[in-house]
Amino acid sequence: MDFRSAVAKLVEEATGLDFETVNRLVEIPPQEDMGDYAFPCFTLAKTMHKAPNMIASDLAGNEKMSASWLSKIEAKGPYLNFFVDRGAFAKEVLSEVLTQGTAFGSSDEGEGKTVIVEFSSPNIAKPFHVGHAFTTILGHSLARIYEKLGYKVVRMNHLGDYGTQFGKLITAYRLWGDEEALEKDPITELLRIYVKFHEEEKNDPSLTTSARENFKKLEDGCAEEVALWQKFRDMSLVVFNALYERMGVTFDNYNGESYYAKMADQVVSMLKEKGLLVESEGAQVVDLEEFGVPPCIILKSDGTTIYGTRDIAAILYRDENYHFDKNIYVVGIPQALHFKQVFSVLKKAGYACADKCEHVGFGLVKFQNMKFSTRDGNIVLLEELLDESVAKTYELIKANAEARNTDMSEDMLREIAEKVGLGAVIYTYVKAGRERDIIFSWDTMLDFEGDTAPYLIYTYARTKSILRKAQEQGFVPEKAGSELLKLLNGDEEFACVKMINDLPEAIKKAAGSNEPFMVSRAVSGIARAFNRFYNNCSILGGEDNERKEARLALCRAVCDAIETGTYLLGISVVEQM
């Protein structure tokens, strides 16, 4: 239940003010003795011609201001403080989770609406590095979050599969390509010949000419060049798809830049028709002074289109084929200006869809005391980061299992390590606001007590193990609607229920701001609160069986809430750890 709105509803009924205004004003007080929700009366003073303190005390006495889930309403200065009846609150919240299970937090706010989430978008024949992981992980999470809220989501991978570099690759491949190496590790081989091309080009201008000719042939659709390009693309996708599969990431559409390059002519003629193309140093550009950004180049002086032109074509394609309500681009902050230009061109051309496009930027990835056996000095490959994380996690859980004498098969240890190790990496990407830079450090990300995926997954496994043990002893969690859920009114229990109750709101906020960390923060709050409860209250101990079953219900709800939240982040849980 959305208690915040329920509080607003009461105030609305008592004051006659409109709901939206009231709802916006409801606060969560900073201190417990100020209640669970508060309504500041300052804004009412004007309309009601009364001092805020007076309004607060009048409202506190108003008989309309009561509800079964409230224990008291108190005026404190200009504030109206609402105290929730803990037992009724627990019953209400837990019943919802127990009924919905992992569907908890779903909503229909997105019904009938389509969101395009463009993410990952790596470049063909280039290594998939930790920066691509940022967009991949954020985008995957956002797609799940929107889906949870009832939106139809289209996941798009705007592959970088077009450009003059493919002319260079074709030339390089014909001269130095090693078929065997290509089969074995395509991206490494393609990178090798690409780098070699640039080295050799310095002393051999004929290479430049050859590359230009090959690109031209590719553009003109010459069979041999297209076949090579296709081969590079297919081979790269095999590598990328293996990574996607490992992380559970999927796409609906892999139309890359090459696909939209074909539509660039239409963009050019549309802009020409609207009289928006002007010449500048030989190039055709759209002036964007009124948007406060530099002109957007549409056609280069040699008549070829560029990255931006293809992005404009892509938006028009998406608008026509998906009629999107939102089109978001999960791409690093350095491309902010590029997107501003692209969106502005469409706005200037009168397209309403321009306002539905949004660039969702993110920061940089850094490493603290971490060494990788990277082939290329500067970049860290996602695969290496994942492998290393899994290997380290394996050592930790193996040692832990040995210390606790739990018999876990090698297969099981490996499976758990894979999920937890991946989770640790993913969580590091989504645990803070996306525009902040990320600093990876093994100590931080694999800390089983810290704000980490291992901690969340461990807590989940703990709830599972309690539920299993309970079942062995013949205890079952209280069911939704049970009056006995009202027994859950202790401090730790209340704190835990409150955290669970915050999750649906956090999911909505995450979508509203395209910030998965709203969800990660909520889930980690639930895990913390649960562990505090677990450490202070015995769940299966004692003689009071009714309390036991009520507490088991809380345990069950925490379990479902953590599973819900981690799923939205792209993290898998394990039943045992």
The residues annotated with a catalytic role in the active site are 126, 129, 132
Q: Is residue 386 near ligand ARG by the rule CB under 6 A?
A: no
475-495 burial, b if ≥16 CB within 10 A, otherwise e?
bebbebebeebbbbbbebbbb
For ligand ARG, the nearest residue by Cβ is 160
Decide if residue 508 touches ligand ARG (CB under 6 A): no
Query: For residues 249 and 523, which CB has a smaller minimum distance to ligand ARG in the complex?
Result: 249
Nearest Cα neighbor of 142 from 344, 430, 395 is 430
| Site for ligand ARG contains 400 (CB under 6 A) | no
Q: What is the dihedral of CA 201, 205, 207, 211, to 10 degrees?
A: 110
- Report how many residues bind ligand ARG under the rule CB under 6 A: 9
In b/e form, how buried is each residue of 223-241, taking b as 16+ CB within 10 angstroms?
Answer: eebbebbeebbebbbebbe
What is d(CA 88, CA 313) in angstroms, rounded to the nearest whole number?
55
- Integer Cα distance of 84 and 363 in angstroms: 40
Query: 331, 529, 537, 573: which one contacts ligand ARG (CB under 6 A)?
Result: 331
3-class secondary structure, 409: coil
Q: How far is the CB of 576 from ligand ARG (least distance, A)?
A: 39
Nearer to ligand ARG, 311 or 560 (CB): 311
Q: Contact between 418 and ligand ARG (CB under 6 A)?
A: no
Strand partners of residue 37: 82
Q: By CB under 6 A, tell whether 556 contacts ligand ARG.
A: no
The amino acid at 498: K
Cβ–Cβ < 8 Å for 424, 389: yes
Smaller CB separation from ligand ARG, 125 or 500: 125
Closest to 340 in 3D by CA, of 318, 359, 315: 359
Q: Interaction with ligand ARG in 286-315: which residues (CB under 6 A)?
A: 311
The correct pick among 86, 129, 158, 348 for binding ligand ARG (CB under 6 A) is: 158
Binder among 134, 329, 455, 533 for ligand ARG (CB under 6 A): 329
Confirm or reject binding of residue 388 to ligand ARG (CB under 6 A).
no
Q: Decide if residue 161 touches ligand ARG (CB under 6 A).
A: no
Q: Is 533 in the site for ligand ARG (CB under 6 A)?
A: no
Which residue, 102 or 123, is less far from ligand ARG as judged by CB? 123
For the chain, the residue count is 577
Interacting positions 96-125 with ligand ARG (CB under 6 A): 118, 121-123
- The 123-142 contact track toward ligand ARG, x by CB under 6 A, reads x-------------------
Cα 399 to Cα 82, 348, 531: the distances in Å are 49, 62, 22
Which of 29, 40, 150, 160 binds ligand ARG (CB under 6 A)? It is: 160
Residue among 236 and 463 whose Cβ is closer to ligand ARG: 236
The tokens for 293 are: 């950004």
Site for ligand ARG, rule CB under 6 A: 118, 121-123, 158, 160, 311, 329, 331
